[in-house]
Structure 1
Amino acid sequence: MAERVFITGMGMITAIGDTVAANFSSLQQQQSGLGFTSYIDTIYKDILPVAAVKHSTAALSEMAGIIAGPAYTRTTLLGLLAMQEALQQAGIRDLQQEPAGFINASTVGGMCDTEKVYFDIIDREKKGDFLQYVDTLDCADCTQRIADKVGFSAYITTISTACSSSANALMYGARLVKQGLLRRVVCGGTEALTRFTLNGFNSLKNVDKRPCRPFDQQRNGLNLGEGAAYLVLESESLARENNSRILAELTGYCNTNEAFHPTAPSPEGDGAYTAMKTALAMSGRSTGEVQYVNVHGTATLNNDISEGKALERLFGAQVPPFSSTKPFTGHTLAAAGAIEAIYAVLAIQHQVIFPNLNFTEQMEELSITPETRLLEAPVETVISNSFGFGGNNASLVISKYER
């Protein structure tokens, strides 16, 4: 019989807090992390709002106990800080005692630092050891450096599937646990702001000059963010042996790849609908047992229509309360799935539904509207959606722990 998959530890750092507790406090206070960046050198730094972690890279090095240098990029340091908290919360002091896997996600890798020396690298007349930065560009570099620092060795890999990356990391980890290949896997993702991603999304006309407003008729694009988050997944047998504190259970998951368009979802939400429906079926829960959906909700024109139609198809006239938390954290790309999975756990732990900030006007294409208040309500099952470019759709079902 396949093992159940329990969440026994969480760690995160975002624009609204350096820890899980600090993030929850900001969510409660409805305090957004959006503002203007002083950490990336871009012509848009006073034009396009972003959700930057409120520490310089040098400060992150000090917080992580690392000597600052090109080997540890901002992406790696964000990941290391979130990892340290996740392991501490799970009570893990020695990763060799129980062989643990590490599934990491990123889309930018060390680009945040490499892009700063790009013109130096290609200038043959320029003197200096700029090539040392190139080694950190690969997304797997930050994975390996985090693994080496904290002691992972049993299984290490990197996933990069755009905005669904860390949700897919959690799925992969859950599959390893369910099949008995590993009894403990730490899964999540890390992402730093870069000029490349800001310029890229802006070229697609997908970035709003105002704070984003998901599922609003006047929405006009996303705001980028940065951060990192990891969740410790343990098999039921290991959790019982260790008397682990079980925070929640990952009861269902599904990835669908509709490949409708390189950067746009299907208009009717085919991939999102199938991902949610299949994940819910795996969980053994019915649509009536879902109390909250943390939607992907990027506030882009196409995404919100597609995801909204998928919700209406799945739930009919009984769509549960839903909201996007991206007006708090910005869209953290590869880290978003893990960040929002933690928010799903927090919703269950504290029996709350988080508000969709900045909403004022219902979309004309939909009959539903997001939750706009911090709502105290019974929450036992949450769907968390993360949808990436290329039609890579990931849905997680996270449920209250039941013996």
Structure 2
Amino acid sequence: MRIYVTGYGVISSVGENSEENLLALRSEKTGIKQGKKTYTERFKVGEIHWSNDELVQRFNLTQHASRTAILGMIAAKEAFNGHLLDPEIKTGLISGTSVGGMDVSEIAYKDFLSGESDDLNVYKNHPSGTTSEQIAKELGIDGYVNTISTACSSAANSIMLGARMLLSGQLDRAVVGGTDGLSQFTIAGFRSLMIFDEEWCRPFDETRKGINLGEGAGFLVLETEETIKKTGKKPLAILAGWGNASDAYHQTASSPEGYGATLAMKSALSVAGLKPDDIDYINAHGTATPNNDLSESHGIKTVFGSSIPPFSSTKSYTGHTLAASGGIEAVFAILALNKGLLLPNLNFKQAIEETGLVPVKSYSEGNDIKHILSNSFGFGGNNSTIILSKV
């Protein structure tokens, strides 16, 4: 049974919908700039420069919620646009997040300490599951709602779970992806790991020092062939394969040899029934940390040998959006798939000495692209890969 993508939506620092994101990718325009908020102003981040209230008004949302939920609502609404709810079509939502409603809790905690407020009910907006419930409510989905929180692989794992639930007949249609908003907690957490780059990040470059954080959301709508016959929706891509592996090498680092990455990519190829030579482009996880990029490079070399397809990281556009990255990059992959795009790895100058791999350095379109592999790797060695194919 084939799983089709019949809708997609995205918001990031380079655009508030898929069309604007595509324009930024084509023009090689980054969204990474000096932060504007009190807790981001010292750093280069992929920040969306609308307040929560402005986003609610701008996108006609029905709920005031945490930033993570609001960004998720925006991307999910774009993806679900034109899809009608039908009691005969079992529709669910699976959303990945790592931050949840932390931005709301941070404000409430400060107000509580200062004596400005003693209303601790606001903490009910913090749990990760609450953000998913709020996104589902915005879409009118009141059946199956679930949350995945596996750090930076969350959205990819949400896509994977949605596909498996469609194949098992538990759902007919699934809205899947991820969302994360920037918060003081996020900034402080990654600062403690000492993997921030004070300059513009450089994925897969020998001089890479670390990440630029970002925020955003990306969602897909998945349907089976039988559901498409009922909905009449046009397939935009095929979700051909997926794989997850946990190497459990370290709490925050990937194995230097890329064991988990290798297993995830091989598993996805097996599910898709494809050979490594069938992949035409890799959207790499590529966080620009010394550990990740070396580990992923070794994994790519192990899987693809001497015939490595064009690859690049798009995190130098958006920043690392954590749990949302797999959803945002799945949308980028579909755009690349349907328009024959090879997306550049911005800021690359010098190959990593140990591997010598050179990513795509300049934008091009009109390429013959049938299959794209997209990697998303999270803390604890939770490695996930999806493969999207042309219809």
Is residue 378 of structure 1 aligned with residue 365 of structure 2? no
Query: CA shift at 1:67, angstroms?
Result: 6.3
The equivalent residue for 2:78 is 85
Aligned to 2:377: 387
Shifted more, 373-382 versus 252-261: the winner is 373-382
Give the aligned residue type for 2:10: M
Pair 1:105 & 2:102 matched: no
SS of 1:164's partner is helix
1:95 Cα deviation (Å)?
5.2
Structure 1 residue 129, shift from structure 2 partner = 4.1
Tell me, what secondary structure is at the counterpart of 1:253?
A: strand
Offset at residue 132 of structure 1 (A): 2.9
Per the alignment, residue 6 of structure 1 pairs with 4
8 A Cα contact 2:172 2:224, kept in partner: yes
CA offsets, 1:108-140, max 9 Å, x none?
11101211232333x3x7142441321111011
1:352 counterpart SS class? coil
Once the two structures are TM-superposed, the CA of residue 236 in structure 1 deviates from its matched residue by 1.1
- Number of residue pairs aligned between Structure 1 and Structure 2: 390
Alignment of 1:1-400 (within 5 A): 3-38=1-36, 40-42=37-39, 45-66=40-61, 69=64, 72-88=65-81, 91-94=82-85, 96=87, 98-121=89-112, 123=113, 126-376=115-365, 377-400=367-390
Percent identity of paired positions between Structure 1 and Structure 2? 41
After superposition, give the CA deviation of every residue in 1:315-371 in whole Å (9 maximum; x if it has no partner). 111100000000001000010001001111111110011000000111101121111
Q: What's the CA shift string for 1:14-38, capped at 9, x where partnerless?
A: 1001111110110000000001222
- Measure how far apart 1:199 and its partner are: 1.2
Q: Which runs of 5+ in 2 are unaligned?
A: none
Report deviation, 1:57: 1.4
CA contact (8 A) 2:101 2:128 kept: yes
What do the CA deviations read for 1:346-402 (whole angstroms, capped 9, x no partner)? 11110011000000111101121111111232111000000000000000011111x
Q: How far apart in 2 are the matches of 1:213 and 1:100?
A: 40
Equivalent residues of 1:64, 1:80 under 8 A apart: no
| CA–CA separation in structure 2 for the residues paired with 1:68 and 1:245 | 30
Letter in 2 for 1:87: F
Q: Distance in 1 between matches of 2:249 and 2:61?
A: 43
Scaled by the length of structure 1, the TM-score of the pair is: 0.94
Distance 1:132 1:363 in 2: 50
Return closer, same or farther for 1:66/1:237 CA change in 2, 3 Å cut-off.
closer
Decide whether the 8 Å contact of 1:224 with 1:331 is kept in 2: yes
1:179 CA displacement: 1.4
Distance (whole Å) between structure 2 residues aligned to residue 367 and residue 205 of structure 1 = 25
SS of the equivalent of 2:344 reads: coil
Q: Distance in 2 between matches of 1:95 and 1:269?
A: 44
Distance 1:93 1:189 in 2: 22
Give 1:96 deviation, angstroms.
Answer: 4.0
| 8 A Cα contact 1:120 1:130, kept in partner | no
Moved more, 322-331 or 237-246: 237-246
| Bigger mean CA deviation after superposition, 162-171 or 53-62 | 53-62
Q: Is the 8 A contact 1:95 1:151 kept in 2?
A: no
- Structure 1 unaligned runs (5+)? none
Aligned 8 A contact 1:99 1:153 in 2:
no
* Shift >3 Å, 4+ stretches: 66-69
C-alpha separation between the residues in 1 aligned to 2:4 and 2:241?
Answer: 12
8 Å CA contact retained: 1:64, 1:77: no
Alpha carbons 1:96, 1:151 under 8 Å: kept: no
For residues 95 and 367 of structure 1, the distance between their equivalents in structure 2, rounded to whole angstroms, comes to 52
- Cα distance in 1 for partners of 2:134, 2:264 equals 33
Task: Answer whether contact 2:108 2:117 (CA < 8 A) is retained.
Answer: no
What is the distance in 1 between the residues matched to 2:160 and 2:267? 13
SS at match of 1:298: coil
Residue by residue, what CA displacement relative to the aligned partner does 1:35-89 show, whole Å, maximum 9, x if unpaired?
1222x322xx3331000113121210102324675xx11111111111111111x
Check conservation: 1:11, 1:86, Cα contact below 8 A.
yes
Distance in 2, matches of 1:389 and 1:245, equals 36
**Length-normalised TM-score, structure 2:** 0.97
